[in-house]
Amino acid sequence: MLRSCTAGLRSIWALRGRREGAPRLSMDLQPARRLFSTEKVIHKDWALPNPSWSKDLKLLFDQFMKKCEDGSWERLPSYKRTSTQESEDFKTYFLDPKLVEEERLSQAQLFTRGFEDGLGFEYVIFKNNDEKRTVCLFQGGPYLQGVPGLLHGGAMATMIDIALGSCTGGAVMTANLNINFKRPVPLCSVVVINSQLDKLEGRKLFLSCNVRSVDEKTLYSEATGLFIKLDPEKSST
Ligand SMILES: CCCCCCCCCCCCCCCC(=O)SCCNC(=O)CCNC(=O)[C@H](O)C(C)(C)COP(=O)(O)OP(=O)(O)OC[C@H]1O[C@@H](n2cnc3c(N)ncnc32)[C@H](O)[C@@H]1OP(=O)(O)O
Protein backbone atom coordinates (compact mmCIF):
# COMPACT_ATOMS: atom_id res chain seq x y z
CA MET A 1 0.00 0.00 0.00
CA LEU A 2 2.81 2.35 1.02
CA ARG A 3 4.65 1.55 -2.21
CA SER A 4 1.65 2.39 -4.36
CA CYS A 5 1.18 5.64 -2.42
CA THR A 6 4.84 6.58 -2.95
CA ALA A 7 4.59 5.67 -6.61
CA GLY A 8 1.41 7.74 -6.77
CA LEU A 9 3.18 10.70 -5.18
CA ARG A 10 6.08 10.36 -7.60
CA SER A 11 3.73 10.50 -10.57
CA ILE A 12 1.89 13.43 -8.94
CA TRP A 13 5.18 15.34 -8.61
CA ALA A 14 5.98 14.50 -12.23
CA LEU A 15 2.59 15.83 -13.28
CA ARG A 16 2.93 18.94 -11.13
CA GLY A 17 6.32 19.63 -12.70
CA ARG A 18 4.76 19.40 -16.13
CA ARG A 19 1.83 21.59 -15.09
CA GLU A 20 4.05 24.20 -13.46
CA GLY A 21 5.69 24.60 -16.88
CA ALA A 22 2.35 24.92 -18.65
CA PRO A 23 1.60 28.65 -18.07
CA ARG A 24 4.92 29.67 -19.69
CA LEU A 25 4.01 27.75 -22.82
CA SER A 26 0.49 29.15 -22.94
CA MET A 27 1.85 32.71 -22.96
CA ASP A 28 2.55 32.16 -26.65
CA LEU A 29 -0.95 30.98 -27.46
CA GLN A 30 -3.57 33.09 -29.17
CA PRO A 31 -6.40 34.22 -26.82
CA ALA A 32 -8.96 32.07 -28.66
CA ARG A 33 -6.85 28.97 -28.16
CA ARG A 34 -6.34 29.81 -24.50
CA LEU A 35 -10.10 30.08 -24.08
CA PHE A 36 -10.51 26.75 -25.84
CA SER A 37 -8.08 25.00 -23.49
CA THR A 38 -9.81 26.56 -20.44
CA GLU A 39 -13.13 25.28 -21.80
CA LYS A 40 -11.58 21.83 -22.17
CA VAL A 41 -10.54 21.84 -18.48
CA ILE A 42 -14.01 22.96 -17.37
CA HIS A 43 -15.77 20.31 -19.44
CA LYS A 44 -13.27 17.57 -18.65
CA ASP A 45 -14.82 14.44 -17.20
CA TRP A 46 -12.79 13.71 -14.04
CA ALA A 47 -14.31 10.29 -13.31
CA LEU A 48 -11.76 8.57 -15.53
CA PRO A 49 -8.40 6.96 -14.74
CA ASN A 50 -5.31 9.16 -14.41
CA PRO A 51 -1.68 8.19 -13.60
CA SER A 52 -2.27 8.61 -9.83
CA TRP A 53 -4.83 5.80 -9.74
CA SER A 54 -3.55 2.71 -7.92
CA LYS A 55 -3.66 -0.78 -9.41
CA ASP A 56 -6.66 -1.59 -7.18
CA LEU A 57 -8.63 1.41 -8.40
CA LYS A 58 -7.86 0.75 -12.07
CA LEU A 59 -8.78 -2.93 -11.69
CA LEU A 60 -12.14 -2.17 -10.08
CA PHE A 61 -12.78 0.56 -12.66
CA ASP A 62 -12.22 -1.96 -15.48
CA GLN A 63 -14.52 -4.50 -13.80
CA PHE A 64 -17.34 -1.99 -13.53
CA MET A 65 -16.81 -0.69 -17.08
CA LYS A 66 -17.41 -4.31 -18.20
CA LYS A 67 -20.68 -4.32 -16.25
CA CYS A 68 -21.71 -1.20 -18.18
CA GLU A 69 -21.55 -3.04 -21.50
CA ASP A 70 -25.05 -4.57 -21.21
CA GLY A 71 -26.57 -1.28 -20.03
CA SER A 72 -27.41 -2.47 -16.49
CA TRP A 73 -24.77 -0.13 -15.03
CA GLU A 74 -23.64 3.31 -16.11
CA ARG A 75 -20.58 5.34 -15.20
CA LEU A 76 -21.53 8.78 -13.97
CA PRO A 77 -19.37 11.53 -15.46
CA SER A 78 -18.06 14.16 -13.04
CA TYR A 79 -17.21 17.79 -13.77
CA LYS A 80 -15.57 20.58 -11.79
CA ARG A 81 -18.40 22.94 -12.55
CA THR A 82 -22.13 22.44 -12.72
CA SER A 83 -23.58 22.87 -16.18
CA THR A 84 -25.33 26.14 -17.01
CA GLN A 85 -28.64 24.28 -17.01
CA GLU A 86 -28.04 22.79 -13.53
CA SER A 87 -26.99 26.19 -12.19
CA GLU A 88 -30.14 27.73 -13.64
CA ASP A 89 -32.25 24.94 -12.10
CA PHE A 90 -30.75 25.60 -8.67
CA LYS A 91 -31.28 29.35 -9.02
CA THR A 92 -34.99 28.50 -9.00
CA TYR A 93 -34.54 27.53 -5.37
CA PHE A 94 -31.84 29.91 -4.23
CA LEU A 95 -33.14 33.15 -5.56
CA ASP A 96 -31.27 35.80 -3.63
CA PRO A 97 -28.57 37.12 -6.01
CA LYS A 98 -27.03 39.14 -3.16
CA LEU A 99 -25.85 35.95 -1.43
CA VAL A 100 -22.89 35.29 -3.71
CA GLU A 101 -21.29 37.82 -6.04
CA GLU A 102 -21.55 36.83 -9.70
CA GLU A 103 -17.75 37.07 -10.05
CA ARG A 104 -17.18 34.67 -7.13
CA LEU A 105 -19.79 32.33 -8.55
CA SER A 106 -17.94 32.22 -11.87
CA GLN A 107 -14.91 30.82 -9.98
CA ALA A 108 -16.94 28.16 -8.19
CA GLN A 109 -16.14 24.51 -8.59
CA LEU A 110 -17.00 21.25 -6.88
CA PHE A 111 -14.47 21.07 -4.05
CA THR A 112 -13.86 17.33 -4.42
CA ARG A 113 -12.52 18.09 -7.91
CA GLY A 114 -10.34 21.03 -6.87
CA PHE A 115 -7.13 19.08 -6.18
CA GLU A 116 -4.23 18.16 -8.44
CA ASP A 117 -4.44 14.57 -9.70
CA GLY A 118 -3.98 12.08 -6.86
CA LEU A 119 -3.65 14.58 -4.00
CA GLY A 120 -7.30 14.74 -2.99
CA PHE A 121 -10.45 12.91 -4.01
CA GLU A 122 -10.01 10.37 -6.80
CA TYR A 123 -13.33 8.67 -7.42
CA VAL A 124 -15.77 7.31 -9.91
CA ILE A 125 -19.41 6.35 -9.37
CA PHE A 126 -21.31 3.60 -11.17
CA LYS A 127 -25.09 3.53 -11.04
CA ASN A 128 -27.58 0.71 -11.42
CA ASN A 129 -30.86 2.46 -12.15
CA ASP A 130 -33.08 -0.65 -11.89
CA GLU A 131 -31.69 -1.59 -8.49
CA LYS A 132 -31.59 2.05 -7.31
CA ARG A 133 -28.04 1.72 -6.07
CA THR A 134 -24.58 3.03 -6.78
CA VAL A 135 -21.02 1.91 -6.22
CA CYS A 136 -18.41 4.57 -5.60
CA LEU A 137 -14.73 3.67 -5.94
CA PHE A 138 -12.70 6.15 -3.89
CA GLN A 139 -8.99 6.69 -3.34
CA GLY A 140 -8.30 9.44 -0.79
CA GLY A 141 -4.97 11.19 -1.46
CA PRO A 142 -2.31 12.61 0.91
CA TYR A 143 -3.98 16.05 1.22
CA LEU A 144 -6.96 14.38 2.90
CA GLN A 145 -5.02 13.30 5.97
CA GLY A 146 -6.55 13.59 9.44
CA VAL A 147 -4.75 11.47 12.04
CA PRO A 148 -1.26 10.85 10.56
CA GLY A 149 -1.42 8.18 7.88
CA LEU A 150 -5.21 8.06 7.98
CA LEU A 151 -8.01 9.61 5.95
CA HIS A 152 -9.81 12.54 7.63
CA GLY A 153 -13.32 11.61 8.76
CA GLY A 154 -14.67 14.77 7.11
CA ALA A 155 -13.25 13.63 3.77
CA MET A 156 -14.99 10.30 4.24
CA ALA A 157 -18.23 12.11 5.17
CA THR A 158 -17.94 14.17 1.98
CA MET A 159 -17.59 11.09 -0.18
CA ILE A 160 -20.46 9.38 1.64
CA ASP A 161 -22.65 12.44 1.01
CA ILE A 162 -21.77 12.44 -2.69
CA ALA A 163 -22.20 8.66 -2.97
CA LEU A 164 -25.63 8.74 -1.30
CA GLY A 165 -26.62 11.78 -3.38
CA SER A 166 -25.73 9.91 -6.56
CA CYS A 167 -28.59 7.49 -5.80
CA THR A 168 -31.15 10.29 -5.93
CA GLY A 169 -31.13 12.30 -9.16
CA GLY A 170 -32.64 15.73 -9.63
CA ALA A 171 -32.63 18.72 -7.32
CA VAL A 172 -32.15 17.38 -3.78
CA MET A 173 -30.30 18.48 -0.67
CA THR A 174 -28.89 16.58 2.24
CA ALA A 175 -31.05 17.10 5.34
CA ASN A 176 -29.48 14.50 7.58
CA LEU A 177 -26.36 12.36 7.51
CA ASN A 178 -25.48 9.74 10.16
CA ILE A 179 -22.13 8.02 10.03
CA ASN A 180 -20.65 5.29 12.18
CA PHE A 181 -16.88 5.24 11.73
CA LYS A 182 -15.93 1.67 12.57
CA ARG A 183 -12.33 1.39 11.36
CA PRO A 184 -9.87 4.09 10.23
CA VAL A 185 -9.17 4.27 6.50
CA PRO A 186 -5.45 4.22 5.53
CA LEU A 187 -4.46 7.22 3.45
CA CYS A 188 -4.08 6.50 -0.29
CA SER A 189 -5.99 3.22 -0.02
CA VAL A 190 -9.03 2.41 -2.13
CA VAL A 191 -12.44 1.91 -0.57
CA VAL A 192 -15.76 0.87 -2.07
CA ILE A 193 -18.95 2.71 -1.07
CA ASN A 194 -22.13 0.73 -1.75
CA SER A 195 -25.20 2.99 -1.55
CA GLN A 196 -28.88 2.32 -2.02
CA LEU A 197 -32.22 4.05 -1.91
CA ASP A 198 -34.16 2.38 0.91
CA LYS A 199 -37.40 4.35 0.91
CA LEU A 200 -39.12 7.21 -0.87
CA GLU A 201 -41.75 9.10 1.13
CA GLY A 202 -43.14 12.15 -0.66
CA ARG A 203 -40.16 14.51 -1.05
CA LYS A 204 -38.05 12.48 1.40
CA LEU A 205 -35.47 10.01 0.17
CA PHE A 206 -34.01 7.63 2.77
CA LEU A 207 -30.65 6.18 1.78
CA SER A 208 -27.95 4.02 3.30
CA CYS A 209 -24.43 2.92 2.47
CA ASN A 210 -21.44 1.00 3.72
CA VAL A 211 -17.75 1.63 3.10
CA ARG A 212 -15.53 -1.41 2.70
CA SER A 213 -12.01 -2.33 1.70
CA VAL A 214 -11.43 -3.67 -1.81
CA ASP A 215 -11.24 -7.27 -0.50
CA GLU A 216 -14.51 -6.58 1.40
CA LYS A 217 -12.93 -7.91 4.63
CA THR A 218 -12.89 -4.54 6.42
CA LEU A 219 -16.05 -2.58 7.11
CA TYR A 220 -14.84 1.02 7.58
CA SER A 221 -18.13 2.88 7.95
CA GLU A 222 -21.88 2.62 7.74
CA ALA A 223 -24.13 5.58 7.10
CA THR A 224 -27.70 6.65 6.51
CA GLY A 225 -28.87 9.83 4.87
CA LEU A 226 -32.06 11.76 4.37
CA PHE A 227 -32.26 13.81 1.20
CA ILE A 228 -35.13 16.18 0.42
CA LYS A 229 -36.38 16.95 -3.07
CA LEU A 230 -36.46 20.71 -3.32
CA ASP A 231 -39.85 22.30 -3.54
CA PRO A 232 -39.96 24.94 -6.32
CA GLU A 233 -42.59 26.81 -4.29
CA LYS A 234 -40.10 27.39 -1.48
CA SER A 235 -36.89 29.38 -1.45
CA SER A 236 -34.32 27.73 0.87
CA THR A 237 -32.42 30.92 1.69
C1 LIG B 1 -31.15 20.41 -10.42
C2 LIG B 1 -30.00 19.62 -10.92
C3 LIG B 1 -29.09 19.09 -9.90
C4 LIG B 1 -27.80 18.68 -10.36
C5 LIG B 1 -26.71 19.04 -9.40
C6 LIG B 1 -25.46 18.55 -9.77
C7 LIG B 1 -24.49 18.94 -8.71
C8 LIG B 1 -23.23 18.09 -8.82
C9 LIG B 1 -23.22 17.11 -7.69
C10 LIG B 1 -22.96 17.80 -6.43
C11 LIG B 1 -23.05 16.79 -5.33
C12 LIG B 1 -22.78 17.59 -4.10
C13 LIG B 1 -23.65 17.01 -3.01
C14 LIG B 1 -23.58 18.06 -1.91
C15 LIG B 1 -24.81 17.89 -1.10
C16 LIG B 1 -24.84 19.05 -0.04
O17 LIG B 1 -23.77 19.34 0.38
S18 LIG B 1 -26.25 19.73 0.35
C19 LIG B 1 -25.68 20.94 1.53
C20 LIG B 1 -25.99 20.55 2.92
N21 LIG B 1 -27.41 20.63 3.11
C22 LIG B 1 -28.02 21.80 3.31
O23 LIG B 1 -27.43 22.86 3.34
C24 LIG B 1 -29.50 21.72 3.46
C25 LIG B 1 -30.02 22.80 4.38
N26 LIG B 1 -31.43 22.53 4.64
C27 LIG B 1 -32.36 23.03 3.79
O28 LIG B 1 -32.09 23.80 2.88
C29 LIG B 1 -33.78 22.58 4.04
O30 LIG B 1 -33.92 22.14 5.37
C31 LIG B 1 -34.19 21.42 3.07
C32 LIG B 1 -33.28 20.19 3.25
C33 LIG B 1 -34.10 21.90 1.61
C34 LIG B 1 -35.61 20.99 3.40
O35 LIG B 1 -36.40 22.16 3.45
P36 LIG B 1 -37.88 22.16 2.88
O37 LIG B 1 -37.88 21.88 1.42
O38 LIG B 1 -38.49 23.42 3.35
O39 LIG B 1 -38.52 20.89 3.55
P40 LIG B 1 -39.34 20.80 4.92
O41 LIG B 1 -40.75 21.15 4.59
O42 LIG B 1 -38.67 21.49 6.04
O43 LIG B 1 -39.23 19.23 5.17
C44 LIG B 1 -39.79 18.29 4.28
C45 LIG B 1 -39.92 17.00 5.05
O46 LIG B 1 -38.60 16.55 5.41
C47 LIG B 1 -38.48 16.44 6.85
N48 LIG B 1 -37.15 16.90 7.23
C49 LIG B 1 -36.50 18.00 6.80
N50 LIG B 1 -35.28 18.08 7.36
C51 LIG B 1 -35.17 17.00 8.17
C52 LIG B 1 -34.14 16.51 9.01
N53 LIG B 1 -32.97 17.14 9.12
N54 LIG B 1 -34.37 15.36 9.68
C55 LIG B 1 -35.53 14.69 9.55
N56 LIG B 1 -36.56 15.10 8.75
C57 LIG B 1 -36.37 16.24 8.09
C58 LIG B 1 -39.56 17.35 7.39
O59 LIG B 1 -39.95 16.95 8.68
C60 LIG B 1 -40.66 17.16 6.37
O61 LIG B 1 -41.28 15.92 6.63
P62 LIG B 1 -42.87 15.69 6.33
O63 LIG B 1 -43.58 16.70 7.19
O64 LIG B 1 -43.07 15.94 4.86
O65 LIG B 1 -43.12 14.26 6.73
Amino acid at 183: R
Write down the domain spans for the chain: 2-229
ipTM of the shown complex: 0.91
Which of 90, 173, 237 to mutate for ligand 1's pocket (most ligand atoms within 8 Å of CB)?
A: 173
Which of 89, 161, 198, 215 does the annotation list as catalytic?
161
For residue 21, pLDDT over 50 is answered with: no
Query: Atom 25 (ligand 1): residue with closest C-alpha?
Result: 175
| Low-confidence winner among 30-44, 53-67, 172-186 (lowest mean pLDDT) | 30-44
Determine whether 190 is exposed, middle or buried from the number of CB atoms within 10 Å of its CB (0-12, 13-18, 19+): buried
Q: What is the share, in percent, of the chain residues with pLDDT greater than 70?
A: 74
For residue 95, pLDDT over 80 is answered with: no
Ligand 1 binding pocket, CB closer than 6 Å: 82, 86, 89-90, 110, 161-162, 165, 170-171, 173-176, 202-204, 226, 228, 230-231, 234, 236
Query: Atom 48 (ligand 1): residue with closest C-alpha?
Result: 175
pLDDT in tens, 156-175: 999 999 999 999 988 899 99
For residue 16, pLDDT over 50 is answered with: no
Q: Are 114 and 80 in contact (CB under 8 A)?
A: yes
Is 161 considered catalytic here? yes
Amino acid at 219: L
By C-alpha distance, which of 218, 185, 154 is closest to 5? 185
Q: Can you identify the CATH homologous superfamily of domain 2-229? A: Hotdog Thioesterase (3.10.129.10)
